[in-house]
């Protein structure tokens, strides 16, 4: 049926029947949204819209078998949920918003310093999204521990440089910062966000450096007993020379160490 016949039928029904006005006049007040109409209005993919609605409790898993046109939700609830979703930032956008390095940002999210905006997003297979309010709150909590103004000539380092020079983890630095144990925390005005923080690696190292290992490494022990390292390692692997496990204070990994009485044990062989 072409446009003209449709128009004639429309006006015939509207003028001849009392209920024709309710059928053919445009809808101005929406009371319900479908998945399809909500995704079209707010610019999200229907699959993403469905996940937002499920996360907010507007629909449950029984709606998974129903098409996007037939899932009906109250318009007020949909507007509230989708308006909030418009303000969410993806993982990459949130990292850029805070001006944080990739590894540091990974530590921040993994350790829960900032929460995902949608609880249960992993179960819904929804990518990580973050609220600007939560990101601003994290930055404010970090800036609350700034101790003094930055001055030219300060021999301070960024988070990544501090972690490298102090041989520690980002999580250890963040824990010290939020606990208020760092007395030298400044902001470099030449940059913004988390990248602006400047710390003293020596001070951080004084809190994070592990005690020395209670023994000698394999190389040191082989040199101590005046023995080839390969021969010494084989004797140790066979259990002839005893060893124990300890944490390397620099590399932060488990390492086999030998006591200094290895020479006495070796001489008895």
Residue 249 pLDDT: 74
Residue 4 pLDDT: 64
State if pTM tops 0.85. Answer: no
Residue 107 pLDDT: 93
Residue 267 pLDDT: 52
What gap in Å lies between CA 117 and CA 99, rounded to an integer? 19
236: pLDDT strictly greater than 60:
yes
What the block records as the tokens of 257 is 């160490």
pLDDT in tens, 2-51: 566 767 777 777 676 666 666 666 667 778 888 888 888 888 888 888 88
What gap in Å lies between CA 107 and CA 159, rounded to an integer? 12
Three-state secondary structure call for residue 74: strand
- Is the pLDDT higher at 6 or at 97? 97
Residue 266 pLDDT: 57
pLDDT in tens, 147-177: 888 876 668 899 999 998 888 889 999 999 9
Residue 15 pLDDT: 72
Show the CA angle centred on residue 173, arms to residues 255 and 200, nearest 5°. Answer: 105
pLDDT in tens, 54-80: 887 888 877 878 888 888 888 898 888
pLDDT in tens, 115-141: 888 776 666 677 788 989 999 999 999
| Chain position carrying tokens 């990994």 | 253
Residue 206 pLDDT: 87
Residue 8 pLDDT: 74
251: pLDDT strictly greater than 90:
no
Are the C-beta atoms of residues 79 and 41 closer than 8 Å to each other?
Answer: no
Residue 253 pLDDT: 77
Long-range pairs for 169-174 at CB < 8 Å and ≥24 separation?
169/107, 169/252, 170/103, 170/104, 170/107, 171/107, 171/111, 172/204, 172/207, 172/208, 173/199, 173/204, 173/208, 174/107, 174/108, 174/111, 174/113
Q: DSSP letters of 89-128?
A: EEHHHHHHHHT--HHHHHHHHHTTSS--SSTTTTTTT---
List the alpha helices (DSSP H) in 183-261. Answer: 201-208, 218-224, 229-237
- Measured CA to CA in angstroms, residue 102 lies from 14, 19, 118, 126, 162 at distances of 62, 62, 22, 20, 16
Residue 121 pLDDT: 63
- Is the pLDDT higher at 26 or at 192? 192
């Amino acid at each position: 049926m072409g446009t003209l016949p449709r128009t004639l039928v429309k006006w015939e029904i509207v003028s001849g029947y009392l209920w024709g006005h309710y059928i053919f006049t445009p809808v101005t007040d929406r009371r319900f949204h479908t998945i399809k109409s909500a995704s079209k209005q707010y610019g999200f993919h229907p699959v993403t819209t469905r996940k937002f609605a499920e996360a907010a409790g507007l629909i449950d898993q029984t709606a998974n078998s129903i098409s996007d046109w037939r899932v009906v939700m109250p318009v007020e609830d949909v507007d509230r949920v989708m308006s909030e979703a418009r303000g969410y930032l993806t993982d990459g956008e949130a990292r850029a918003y805070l001006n944080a390095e990739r590894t540091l940002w990974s530590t921040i999210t993994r350790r829960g310093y900032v929460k995902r905006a949608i609880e249960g997003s992993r179960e819904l297979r929804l990518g990580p999204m973050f609220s600007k309010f939560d990101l601003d709150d994290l930055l404010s909590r970090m800036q609350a521990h700034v101790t003094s103004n930055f001055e030219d000539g300060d021999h301070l380092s960024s988070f990544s440089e501090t972690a490298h020079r102090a041989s520690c983890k980002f999580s250890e630095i963040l824990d010290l910062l939020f606990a208020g144990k760092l007395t030298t925390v400044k902001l470099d005005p030449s940059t913004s966000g988390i990248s602006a923080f400047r710390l003293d690696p020596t001070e951080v190292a004084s809190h994070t450096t592990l005690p020395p290992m209670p023994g000698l490494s394999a190389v040191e022990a082989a040199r101590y007993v005046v023995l080839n390292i390969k021969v010494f390692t084989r004797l140790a692997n066979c259990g002839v020379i005893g060893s124990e496990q300890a944490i390397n204070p620099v590399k932060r990994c488990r390492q086999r160490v030998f006591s200094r009485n290895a020479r006495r044990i070796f001489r008895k062989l």
